[in-house]
Structure 1
């Protein structure tokens, strides 16, 4: 089976641009035989390879990454490890499902806490939680108030923040109210991916810049790159949306593109004028009309806005300057006292969603397991998905595997072009309907 479409690194990722240079692992060269091959070194692939190696220290695990670690989707997100479901229902069944999901997410966060500390991963890992914000009174009524009510039903801690207190926390008077939840983490996602990759156990061979050109399933799996091949009796698929190219989950995934910009560091004078001491992260009441923002430990501000349907998994790089200008306009509207601060980096990243928000998890063939489709919450979902896929493949008894399976499986999508028309119509409707949250 030839692989027709591969990730493409445009070298624009701002999170990695602000880091020191890193020497990637050598690409695959020659023909290897291994006990396991893992495809994709994002959060799921890194977690799966680590767990296989920990539980079977005598086994040889080969981890193939098409580009460089931290340069694809896992290193391009907004840098949130989120412990709460995005949408919480109020029925007993929905609340029980939320408890299961939170158990999975907190399992992942605890694992990442441990790895960051144990391996001294310098990724600005911060236990600052997040603000879920609304611009309008309507957003407070329709989104934040039900969210707070459901957190109460779950027994989860949270705090309403409004008025002067919210302006002091964020340095902006653009928002009407926020619900702050303390359990999440903030980080530089590219630095976290690099640190996880560079601290893998010795029985993992990481091969970067090794895109898969051909794949042969069977009792012995053969994966071919331009530089060599790997033969292994078992495989874990962790290439997220690109897993379709290998024949898994065909016509199940929606591919979106999101855009982000990161400012230069604020000067000492600008920081004094801004007046905010702690890093923060906020998610909008509506993901279509609102924007996600961060204030980082090194005094930069992140803007992520602009979610579009992109089934080709290719983005026109000529539009980057226009996107940067739009992000600057949004920045100025929220931080009018920082007019001289510009966007130092602007980039795009691809998001993989399923129609029913379910992950692609579990056994895909007799000797293949998968952890893909993180539905825009890759740091936590990728980590627990990859870890549990490895444990399932090894026959480990972990009750969290059942919790993971309870999240369901991706459902089929309508055929194209009806799918394209439907998605674009829905996006336009969401933007118009929620314009009060812009």
Structure 2
């Protein structure tokens, strides 16, 4: 099978641009054989490779990625490891589902805590939790208060913050109220992905800058790149939205693009005016109209705003300047006392969703298992998905596998162009209906 669409790195990712240069692993060259192939070097692929190596210390694992560590979607997100479901219902079945998700997410966070600590991964990993914020009184009543009721039903700790207390925490008068939950983690996602790649066990061989142009699954797996071939009896598919290019999950994935920007570091004088003592991360009451933001350990502010339908998985270079200008305007609205602070980098990242928010997990063909479609919660969902895919492939008993399987399978989508029209109409409706949260 010829692969007719390949990932592209536009080299704009701000998270990695603020790091020191890293030398990538060599690209695939010549004929290489392994016991296992892991296709994709994001959180799912990294977790799968690490778990395979631990379970099979005398076998060889080859992890292959089209780009370099930290430059793919895993390194371009907002830098949250989230332990709570975004939408929690109040019925017993929904609450039970939430408990299953939390078990999965917290297992992933525990694994990442251990990896960061054991290998000394310098990625600004911190247990600072997150704020779920509302701008308007309507957002408070429709989103935050039901969220609090659900947290209480789950027995989860939280803190309600508003008024001057919220202003002191976030440094912005823009928000009416927030619910703070302590269980999540914050990080530089590009640095985390680099560190996880560079600390893989010795029986994992990593090939970067190796886009696959041909795939065969006949008498084993064969991947072909421009410079080499990679063979193995078994493979874990962790290429997220690009899995459909290999014939898996056809007409199951929605491809979106999210845009983000990061400022230069605040000066000492600006930090005094800002008045915020601790790093923070916040998610909006509405993801379409609102803004996800971070205040980092190195005194930068990150804005992620703008979620668009993008079936081409391509973001035009000429739109970068538009994104930067829009984010600067939004930054000035929220932090008028910091209007001299410039945006240093702006970038785009692709998000893979399913219509029913289910992951692509399990055995999908002879000798192929998958951990794809993290539905915009890649750090935790990718990590537990990859780990459990490796367990499943190795026949390893893990009580979390039924929890993972309970999340369901991606449902089918309408054919294009009806899909395109429906998604774009829904986006416009969501933006208009939730304009009070802008």
Instruction: Calculate the TM-score normalised by the size of structure 1.
Output: 1.00
Match of 1:325 in 2: 325
Q: Secondary structure at the match of 2:261?
A: strand
In 2, Cα distance between the equivalents of 1:64 and 1:213? 12
Long gaps (5+) in structure 1: none
What are the Cα deviations for residues 414-433 of structure 1, in whole angstroms up to 9, with x where unaligned? 00000000000000000000
In 1, Cα distance between the equivalents of 2:184 and 2:411? 29
Alignment of 1:92-103 (within 5 A): 92-103=92-103
Q: Secondary structure at the match of 1:340?
A: coil
Report whether the alignment pairs 1:127 with 2:132: no
Alignment of 1:356-367 (within 5 A): 356-367=356-367
Alignment of 1:38-57 (within 5 A): 38-57=38-57
In 2, Cα distance between the equivalents of 1:72 and 1:295? 22
Report whether the alignment pairs 1:212 with 2:212: yes
Superposition deviation, residue 388 in structure 1? 0.3
In 1, Cα distance between the equivalents of 2:145 and 2:283? 15
In 2, Cα distance between the equivalents of 1:192 and 1:90? 35
Match of 2:189 in 1: 189
Long gaps (5+) in structure 2: none
In 2, Cα distance between the equivalents of 1:333 and 1:74? 29
In 2, Cα distance between the equivalents of 1:308 and 1:148? 29
Match of 1:159 in 2: 159
In 1, Cα distance between the equivalents of 2:336 and 2:33? 59
Superposition deviation, residue 218 in structure 1? 2.1
Match of 2:118 in 1: 118
What are the Cα deviations for residues 90-143 of structure 1, in whole angstroms up to 9, with x where unaligned? 000000000000000000000000000000000000100000000000000000
What are the Cα deviations for residues 153-197 of structure 1, in whole angstroms up to 9, with x where unaligned? 000000100000000000001000000000000000000000000
Report whether the alignment pairs 1:170 with 2:170: yes
Match of 1:434 in 2: 434
Superposition deviation, residue 277 in structure 1? 1.1
Which range moved further: 317-326 or 279-288? 317-326
In 1, Cα distance between the equivalents of 2:115 and 2:268? 33
Q: Secondary structure at the match of 2:318?
A: helix
Match of 2:394 in 1: 394
Superposition deviation, residue 366 in structure 1? 1.9
Match of 2:34 in 1: 34
Superposition deviation, residue 219 in structure 1? 2.7
In 2, Cα distance between the equivalents of 1:217 and 1:314? 28
Match of 2:419 in 1: 419
Match of 2:300 in 1: 300
Alignment of 1:78-93 (within 5 A): 78-93=78-93
Report whether the alignment pairs 1:23 with 2:38: no
Superposition deviation, residue 220 in structure 1? 1.1
What are the Cα deviations for residues 389-433 of structure 1, in whole angstroms up to 9, with x where unaligned? 000000000010110000000000000000000000000000000
Match of 1:226 in 2: 226
Q: Secondary structure at the match of 2:213?
A: strand
In 1, Cα distance between the equivalents of 2:52 and 2:144? 41
Q: Secondary structure at the match of 1:123?
A: coil
Match of 1:372 in 2: 372
Report whether the alignment pairs 1:106 with 2:106: yes
Give the conservation status (yes or no) of the 8 Å contact 1:219–1:367: no
Match of 1:145 in 2: 145
In 2, Cα distance between the equivalents of 1:122 and 1:221? 35
Match of 1:384 in 2: 384
Match of 1:288 in 2: 288
Report whether the alignment pairs 1:60 with 2:63: no
Q: Secondary structure at the match of 2:167?
A: helix
Match of 1:180 in 2: 180
Q: Secondary structure at the match of 2:415?
A: coil
In 2, Cα distance between the equivalents of 1:79 and 1:393? 29
Match of 1:8 in 2: 8
Superposition deviation, residue 33 in structure 1? 1.1
In 2, Cα distance between the equivalents of 1:111 and 1:50? 11
